[in-house]
Amino acid sequence: MTPAAIESFFATLKAANPQPQTELEFSSVFELLVAVLLSAQATDVSVNKATRRLFLVANTPQKMLDLGLQGLESFIKTIGLYHAKARHLLQTCQILVDHYDGVVPGSREALQTLPGVGRKTANVILNVAFGEPTIAVDTHLFRVANRTGLAPGKTPLEVEQKLLKRIPPAYLVDAHHWLILQGRYVCQARKPLCWQCAVSPFCDFKDKTPAPFK
């Protein structure tokens, strides 16, 4: 994609969705951290169903610690890998209580010391909670970046670094959401819906399937 095409690509996404938001439900930075940790290899829908109940009784690190492992697992057992996620979550809560007065830190370095928090999760927290222009490359974003020609790369880190260089600064804070939503609902893995894609004119993808006959 040329710089002009990239500008048009994001201008179109912004016009359609001026204030994109994460689909995870939360009301505090801690709740966001919990939701993101639980969302690994799980859908936002499944996470939201679990956290609606969980946050009613445990919306702080200490309250979550008070649940204990079995108590926490009882709320998140419908989510994949819930055993490991529960352990990591309680370890994270203990660190937050012991070292940060129960407050989620706002630096990448501190976030990535928390169990289960890698670069992608840290990027989500920094972007959504603290408004930093970070790009969290999940499977949807990775696909969109490569398929469209926006930022081809072989690894999530390579794609992230290219995106940070290629996306115009005016769009950078919201780009993470636009690209994930594009991949989730339009530029899908098996069959991209090119015929209903608003940014298709600016995309490098060659095998654009025509609209299905009705």
Catalytic amino acids?
A: 120, 138
Burial state string for 159-190 with b = 16 or more CB within 10 A and e = fewer than 16: bbebbeeebeeebbebbbbbbbbbbbebbeee
CA–CA dist 160, 210 (Å, integer): 31
Give the side-chain half-sphere CA count within 13 A for 16: 15
Helix, strand, or coil here: 9?
helix
> Is residue 64 within 8 Å of residue 58, measured between CB atoms?
yes
115: which residues sit within 8 A by CB, 6+ positions away? Answer: 87, 88, 91, 92, 95
Query: For residue 40, which of 89, 6, 75 has the smallest C-alpha distance?
Result: 89
Query: For residue 138, which of 117, 152, 159 has the smallest C-alpha distance?
Result: 159
